[in-house]
Amino acid sequence: MTAQPWRQLFDSATPLVGAPLGGGAGSPALVRAVAAAGGFGFLPAGYKTPEALAADLAELRASGTPFGVNLFVPGPPEIDEETFRRYAREIAAEGEPYGLDLAGAPRVHDDDHWADKVDLLVREPVPVVSFTFGLPDPAAVAALRRAGSRLLVTVTSVAEALAARDLGVDGLVAQGTEAGGHSGTHTPHRPAPPVSTRPLVRDVAAATGLPVVATGGVAGPDDVRDLLAAGAAAVAVGTLLLRTDESGASRTHRDALADPARTRTVLTRAFTGRPARGLHNAFIDRYEPAAPLGYPELHHLTRDLRRAAAAAGHADRVHLWAGTGFRHATTGPAATVVQGLTAAL
C-alpha cells in the first residue's frame, strides 16, 4: 500500500473499519479489538440512553483507543394510529407466549435523544462522528465540526450523496443493498432502487469527490480489495464481526448465522418499520405482506417481543440482521477477522 486515502478520515494503520452495530453487537470491546488489529471501530449510539453512551465513551477513552461514534438521525412520525393498531393486532399472537400484550401497545415516537447525544459529543469530542437514516441538521454539523470531529453520512444513492456533500461533510459511507441491518436510506417511504456496494461506491466517489467508505456484503479479503479498487478509501464490515468473541450479539443471533437451515437474507420492515436486511425467518414470512413503514414506532412495538424471543432462543421471532456475506462470519477473536481481511492489502 502506498497512497493511504483512508487517513483523510481515520487515524488507523489499515483501511478496515468496524461498522457501527447497534442493539448490542457493537460493544466497546469490539471497537477496541478492531482498533488493536489496525482497523478503525465505530461505537453505535443508537437506542442507547445518553447516560449509557457517556459510560461507553468513558470506557473507550480510558483505553486510549481512537474510535468513531454513530448516531441515528431522527425523522418525523411516519405512521398513523389506525395503521399502527392494525399491525399491532396482526402480530399480537406472537407476544402471547411471553405474556406481552402487543395489541394494546402504545404508539411511541421518539428522536433517540438526538439533542442530548449531539451535546455530549460536542462536550466530549471523538475523532469521527457518522450519521445514518438521514442528514443531520446544519446546527449539529456546525457544532460537531467546531468541536473537531470529522463527519460522515451514510448514503444509499448518488442523490443522497450529493445532498450530504452540500451539507459540508468530510466523507460518505456508501451502503450497498447487500448490507446487513437497517438501510440508511434518507427516504424509507421512497427508497432509491437498490444498488450493489461496488457500483454505488464508484458512482458516489465520482459524483462527489469525497472519500468514501464502502459497506455492505463483504465476505472476505477479495471483496475488500475489489471495493478499494472501485474507489473506496476504506471498507466497513458488520456481519463478519457478529460471531466474534467481542461481539455483543445474542446467542440466538450468533447461532442463527451459523445454522445451515438459514440459507438466505431478505429485506424486511416487519420488525422495525424501516427496511433492513436479515436472515429469512418465520416472522418475516408471516408478517412482511402486512407490515407498514413506520420507524421507530414499529421498533418500539416489537422490541420486548424480540428481546424475550432472543432470550428464549426462539430465532423465528428475532430480527436476525445479516448481510449477504453471512456464511463467512466466523467465531474467534475479532482481531483474526480484521487481520484476515487486511493481510494481503
Ligand X SMILES: Cc1cc2nc3c(=O)[nH]c(=O)nc-3n(C[C@H](O)[C@H](O)[C@H](O)COP(=O)(O)O)c2cc1C
| Separation CA 270–CA 91 (nearest Å) | 10
83 close to 294: Cβ distance less than 8 angstroms: yes
Judged by CB under 6 A, the stretch of 48-56, 160-168, 171-179, 291-299 that binds ligand X is: 171-179
Which residue in the set 237, 256, 309, 318 belongs to the binding site for ligand X (CB under 6 A)? 237
Find the part of the chain contacting ligand X (CB under 6 A) among 13-21, 138-146, 222-230, 335-343. Answer: 13-21
Residue 229 is which amino acid?
A
The whole-angstrom separation of Cα 120 and Cα 140 is 11
Instruction: Assess contact for 215 and 155: CB atoms under 8 A.
Output: no
Nearer to ligand X, 103 or 167 (CB): 167
Beta bridge pairs of residue 68: 42, 128
What is the Cα–Cα distance from 182 to 323, expressed in whole angstroms?
Answer: 10
Q: Which is nearer to ligand X, 65 or 250 (CB)?
A: 250
| Dist. CA 189–CA 206, nearest whole Å | 27
Among 9, 16, 17, 21, binds ligand X (CB under 6 A): 21
Q: Is residue 217 part of the contact set for ligand X (CB under 6 A)?
A: yes
The CB-of-15 to ligand X minimum distance in angstroms stands at 15
Q: Distance (Å, rounded) from C-alpha 132 to C-alpha 135? A: 8
Q: According to the binding rule CB under 6 A, does residue 215 interact with ligand X? A: yes
Binding of residue 252 to ligand X (CB under 6 A): no
Nearer to ligand X, 253 or 314 (CB): 253
Q: Work out which of 15, 20, 41, 275 binds ligand X, going by CB under 6 A.
A: 20
- The number of angstroms, rounded, from the C-alpha of 341 to the middle of its chain's C-alpha atoms is 20
Q: Measured from the CB atom, is 23 or 275 closer to ligand X? A: 23
Among 67, 84, 87, 321, binds ligand X (CB under 6 A): 321
Q: Pick from 12, 14, 70, 252: which binds ligand X (CB under 6 A)?
A: 70
Beta-bridge mates of residue 277: 181, 267
Measured from the CB of residue 97, what is the shortest distance to ligand X in angstroms?
24
Q: How far is the CB of 337 from ligand X (least distance, A)?
A: 11
Consecutive H or E run containing 129: strand 128-132
DSSP letter for each residue of 85-126: HHHHHHTHHHHGGGT---TT-------TTHHHHHHHHHHS--
Q: Does 268 bind ligand X (CB under 6 A)?
A: no
Whichever of 210 and 219 has its CB closer to ligand X, that residue is 219
Tell me: does residue 27 bind ligand X (CB under 6 A). Answer: no
If one asks whether residue 297 binds ligand X (CB under 6 A), the answer comes out as: no
Burial 28-62 (b: 16+ CB within 10 A, else e): bbbbbbbbbbebbbbbbbbbbebeebbebbebbee
Q: Which stretch binds ligand X (CB under 6 A): 61-69, 109-117, 186-194, 231-239?
A: 231-239
Residues at the contact surface with ligand X, assessed by CB under 6 A: 19-23, 25, 44, 46, 70, 132, 154, 175, 178-182, 184, 215-218, 237-239, 321, 323, 325
